[in-house]
Structure 1
Amino acid sequence: MTREALTTETAPPVTRALCCRCKRWTYAAVEVGYIERASGPGVVLWGCPSHAMAMIPRPMPGELERGA
């Protein structure tokens, strides 16, 4: 990485998400699932690190598509 790249690139935004199990906000959210909807975009389910490991994995976008 060049010195110019280190000084011009911005840091990633700090985001947080609500854990779908304990309903607490976390800065270390893990994507644990995705729910498709009939109209509009789908919904991403987030979990805190302590609950994400215990949750049953759900399908992620594209995992249930046939073909290719």
Structure 2
Amino acid sequence: MNNPDLANANWFKSTYSSGQGACIEVAALPNTIASRDSKDPNSPILLFTRDGWQDFIGAVNRREFRD
């Protein structure tokens, strides 16, 4: 996957965010979905293909990332 230009990315937080500090921000780019820690905009950014993002969201909804 190429490194997309994130300089003008439009980051947003989910309306489901509770404001308790466990949120991510997401930016939809032409061929990539980028996500980062909402508390630290300089944190590492995870990049997904659109299909990969759908797979990730599905795994989250299925609670596959539980402790």
TM-score by length of 2: 0.31
Which structure has the larger Rg?
1
Higher RCO structure, 1 or 2 (CA under 8 Å, sep 6+): 1
TM-score by length of 1: 0.30
